[in-house]
Chain A
């Protein structure tokens, strides 16, 4: 019963490098989300998806890209890492219409130096 799995848990990137944060869920949830948490700032929505092949921007999408080729996977891509992207990233999933059903992964702590 894995729920939402995020990899890696930690990563240090140099400025200008690229990477993909992986997110997978095994609950057959149709909605998936990416949030970032900065100290003292709460969680900000980066991108979300309502189903395979459909993605949309959240509050802070600049510098990121996503894709949703399957129901299970929702990777987040950073193309040119910047220090401002140093944060903890959380992936979540839910059934549509059930806000209380957000299941979060354990997070990826990313540092850009």
Chain B
């Protein structure tokens, strides 16, 4: 019963182009969404988040879009850089809790 789904296990993008990572969720009680980035042999690190009252949040090269009616969010990275190569996890938090439910991750590879 995967409440947060990342259906693309991997994505390959050329340097300078846009990377789009997708995430779908099933629980309408989620009210906060986050993206984490993970390099090999390291723990995940926080990247960007969005509250359910917003539909877009931007931080430099990273933008997260939320479509509540479709229960879908996406992470856009523009322009993509080789250092962005990592596994990206989508996570969601149920209303009034501090617990995070993680997706299965998408491995992004940015090639020159």
Contact = CB atoms under 8 A, between A and B. Distances in A.
A107 B41 contact: yes
Interface string A75-109: 00000000000000010101011011110111100
Interface in B64-112: 89, 93, 98-105
Contacts, number: 56
A45 interface: yes
Interface residues of A, number: 26
A90 B43 contact: yes
A104 B104 contact: no
B23 to A, nearest CB: 11
Interface residues of B, number: 24
Contact of B105 (A31, A42, A90, A102): A42
B110 to A, nearest CB: 21
A40 interface: yes
A43 interface: yes
Contacts of B32: 99
Interface in A46-63: 48, 50, 58
The 5 closest A-B pairs by CB, nearest first: A104-B43, A43-B102, A42-B104, A42-B102, A100-B49
